Amino acid sequence: MSHQDPPDPAEDPAPDPVDRKKSAGPAAEGSAGPAAAGKEPGPGRRLIDSLSARSRGEGWEKPQGELAKYRSGWRAGLRFVLQRVLFRAIVASAVTPQVKVPRRVKSVRGPFVLVANHTSHVDGPLLAMSLPWTQGRYLCTGTAADYWFDHWHRRIFVRSMLNAFPIDRGGSRKHSGTSRRLLRSGVPILVFPEGGRQQTGKMADFKPGAAALAIGVGVPVIPAAIVGGYEAMPKGYNWPKKGRPPVAVVFGEPMISEPNESAVEFSARIQQRVHDLYDENHEEVLGEGVQDEEGPA
């Protein structure tokens, strides 16, 4: 049930310049109605309106050619069975899973960037099966082209389980820009900004690629923290420890870049939110007798 740590989308060229209204994403869309009536809505109301508007789920480019498979209905149905029936049963037999999903995450329509800490090989499928199906139906994950896509059986596995797309390593640019094209085609993507699994349980600094993608295409970021993943299955383990240890996936409120906020600044804000989600739920999931490996943000 393992998958290769996906290289960070920061390896892609810098996002193409786009119209600021689109770059501002949902925030710009959600403020028009009430403001026109002479009443400026609060930021929370604008966020809810913009994330749940029909325009968030429509108006994106129709995927063409190779990209069409990532929004395939029958492939999504197959993933539902693999992720939410078979894999969920396996996970429940090995760990004690918990999921927390804020109401606003359920309001998101259209593409987004899901950002999480990276604790173990099962993080990708675990996050995918924990999202509500409306948001997770087309979620895709970047995996190393030179490992997962060079043999047909590996390629079938990651495409079936994770809706995976190939990411280049070693200087190749063959698949450069795929993550941006997917987002522009209405396909949400999962990114682990640490660039690899945690070595000691301590969260590494986030690379700004995920934030740059969200800003460049004009989509929200959904932060998520995996709590207990490292304790249950630290680096070097191919299966969780005995005793069904607790593992929680905690999603945070959707985040949108501020006007003129750089990718580095937005990335730092996302990392802080993931840290906070981890810290806020650590004691509840693992108990106060377990030392917090993440440490201060």
Q: Tell me the pLDDT tens digit for each residue of 182-216.
A: 999 999 999 999 877 777 788 999 999 999 999 99
Q: What is the mean pLDDT of the chain?
A: 80
Q: What is the pLDDT of residue 5?
A: 43
pLDDT mean over 123-135: 94
Give the mean model confidence (pLDDT) for residues 46-65: 60
pLDDT reading at 79 higher than 50: yes
Of residues 59 and 195, more confidence is placed in: 195
Reading the block at residue 294, the tokens are 């993440």
pLDDT for residue 199: 76
Three-class SS state of 288: coil
Q: Tell me which residue has tokens 């750089």.
A: 262
> Other C-beta atoms within 10 Å of 58: how many?
10
Question: How far apart are alpha carbons 92 and 240 in whole angstroms?
Answer: 11
Provide, for the chain, the percentages of residues in helix, strand and coil under a 3-state DSSP scheme, each rounded to the nearest 5.
Answer: 45, 10, 45
The whole-number pLDDT of residue 173 equals 61
**Bridge partners for 222 per DSSP:** 114
pLDDT recorded at residue 147: 77
Residue 223: what pLDDT? 98
- Of the candidates 172, 168, 145, 176, the one whose C-alpha atom is nearest the C-alpha of residue 158 is 145
For residue 96, list its beta bridge partners. Answer: 246
CA gap 203, 268 in Å, rounded:
13
Going by C-alpha positions, the residue among 43, 17, 60 that lies closest to residue 254 is 43
**Residue ranges covered by each domain of the chain:** 9-27+87-235+246-286
Write the DSSP string, 195-237. SS--SSSPPPPPPTHHHHHHHHHT--EEEEEEESHHHHS-TT-
**Measured distance CA(220)–CA(238) in Å, rounded:** 33
Which of 24-28, 160-164, 200-204, 248-252 is predicted least confidently? 24-28
**Does 221 have pLDDT greater than 90?**
yes
Q: State phi, psi for 155 to the nearest 5 degrees.
A: -60, -45
Contact 221, 210 (CB under 8 A): yes
User: For residue 174, what are the CA distances in angstroms to 106, 183, 291?
Assistant: 35, 18, 44
Mean pLDDT of all residues in 119-146 = 90
Q: Long-range contacts for 38-46 (Cβ within 8 Å, ≥24 apart)?
A: none
Least confident of 24-38, 105-119, 146-160, 244-258: 24-38
Does residue 104 carry a pLDDT above 50?
yes
